[in-house]
């Protein structure tokens, strides 16, 4: 067999001939193993970093203000801490138990929005200026 992997006896293949070089030096195998290990470490590092970032991204998404459309008032209500306080005041006046606003039925949401238009921020929350 020649260096290019072609059989010596013309175009026909002899038994035991191989298409690739069968023997590599030990140093070459060591380099291949080191390269594979290096790739493994890089890929596992990316996966570990992604696993750490997913909960952080999910938590950051929870803190974003949500908007709800008021059909009767034809406006949007941004749900933030102040709106949640107003909602809790409304529930206290109505003698109802606290239920997260997205889980409340639409007619109860409409009742709250109507109440909210009758009770703006400056009425509900007194701001002290020092």
In order along its 130 residues, the chain shows pLDDT tens digits of: 555 555 555 556 555 555 555 566 665 666 677 778 788 888 888 888 888 877 776 666 555 678 999 888 899 989 988 899 999 999 999 999 999 999 999 999 999 999 999 988 888 887 667 6
- CA atoms within 13 Å, Cβ hemisphere of 90: 23
78: β partners:
67
Q: Return the DSSP state at 124.
A: H
Query: DSSP letter string over 57-119?
Result: HHHHHHTS-EEEEETTTTEEEEESHHHHHHHHHHHHHHT-----GGGS-HHHHHHHHHHHHHS
Residue 10 near residue 3 (C-beta atoms within 8 A): no
Question: 122: helix, coil or strand?
Answer: helix
Where along the chain do its domains lie? 23-64, 66-124
Burial class (CB in 10 A: 0-12, 13-18, 19+), 79: middle
pLDDT of residue 49: 84
* Residue 1 CA, distance from chain mean position: 57
């Amino acid at each position: 067999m020649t260096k290019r992997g072609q059989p010596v006896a013309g175009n026909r293949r002899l038994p035991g001939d191989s298409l690739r070089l069968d023997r590599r030096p030990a140093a070459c195998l060591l380099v291949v193993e080191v390269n594979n290990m290096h790739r493994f470490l890089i890929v596992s590092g990316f996966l570990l970093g992604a696993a750490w970032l997913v909960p952080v991204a999910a938590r950051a998404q929870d803190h974003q203000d949500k908007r709800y459309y008021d059909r009767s008032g034809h406006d949007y209500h941004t749900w933030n801490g102040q709106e949640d306080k107003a909602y809790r005041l409304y529930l206290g006046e109505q003698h109802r138990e606290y239920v997260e606003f997205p889980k409340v039925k639409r007619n109860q949401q409409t009742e709250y929005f109507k109440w909210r238009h009758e009770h703006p921020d400056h009425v509900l929350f007194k701001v002290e200026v020092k």
